[in-house]
Amino acid sequence: MRVPLFIEFSGRNVLVIGGGEVGTKRAKKFLEAGANVVVLSKEFSEELRQLESEGKVMLVQVDLTEATSIQTLSFWITWADLVVYTVPDDRLAMLVRSLCKIHRKLLNDATSAEYTDVVIPMESKVDSIRIAVTTEGKSSILAKVVLRELARYIENNNELRNYATTWFSVKDYLKRNVKDRKLRMRIYYELSSDSVFNELAKKSPEDALRYVYEKVKKLIEGS
């Protein structure tokens, strides 16, 4: 059972094995997240070559099918926080999986949903809501369809977007004005089951916030 997580990758080391289309996409994704990215491959896409010329990625040219490459492979796997494998070579895949286990490194195996430790989902964002969807290798097309439908639902649901705006503002307000964490948790819990607040939150974030201001004032005065 894999645990869904959003992980900060800024400043972390990511090793991408394979310089083709998939390797390029993965490298760009982690570069955008602020990671240090090294790509190991015999050949590299033009896009990776351009990124190297801009000083954004390090390319290490090596024929990973040669026995002499094991030392290089092991060195860079040890360096990495995450290893991304993209090469359609079963023998090499088994070697990479074995080295990742030996060095206790997480592996995103783009060639096998069964052997991957880390799943990179399809993702989208609507306002401040991030959506991530995966079928864990069963169907990337289905994941794209589900992601598109979820994003469309949120975009077209004004009540849900108002509700999100309200809660973001409520959390910010409470963190700034209610220093007692236990009291904040109590207010969160009470608001989540408060029918008046929830109706206001769906229709008018401004009215919902005024309702919260009054509620907090009474709670603080009565404590």
pLDDT confidence tier of residue 218, bands split at 50, 70 and 90: confident
Minimal CA–CA distance to 161: which of 207, 213, 204?
Answer: 204
At residue 222, does pLDDT exceed 80?
A: no
Q: Which alpha helices (H) appear in 56-204, and where do they start and end? A: 70-79, 90-102, 140-156, 158-177, 181-192, 195-203
- pLDDT above 90: residue 27: yes
Angle at 22 (CA atoms; ends 54, 50), nearest 5 degrees: 15
Of 47-51, 108-112, 174-178, minimum mean pLDDT range: 174-178
| R_g over Cα of the chain | 24
87-to-65, 139, 143, 180 alpha-carbon distances in Å: 11, 19, 22, 53
Q: Comparing 25-29, 184-188, 219-223, which segment has the lowest mean pLDDT?
A: 219-223
User: Under the phi-then-psi rule, with left for phi > 0, alpha for psi from -120 to 50, and beta for the rest, what region is 136?
Assistant: left
Rounded to 5 degrees, what angle do the CA atoms 132, 135, 141 make?
A: 90
173-182 own/partner pairs: CB under 8 Å, 24+ apart: 173/209, 173/212, 173/213, 173/216, 174/212, 174/216, 177/216, 178/216, 178/220
Give this prediction's pTM: 0.86
Tell me: the pLDDT tens digits for 136-164?
Answer: 988 999 999 999 999 999 999 999 999 99
Statement: residue 77 has pLDDT above 60: yes
Report whether pLDDT(67) > 90: no
Q: b/e string for 46-64 if b means 16 or more Cβ within 10 A?
A: eebeebeeeeebebeebeb
Separation CA 166–CA 173 (nearest Å): 10
Quote the CA–CA distance of 188 and 193 in Å, as a whole number: 9
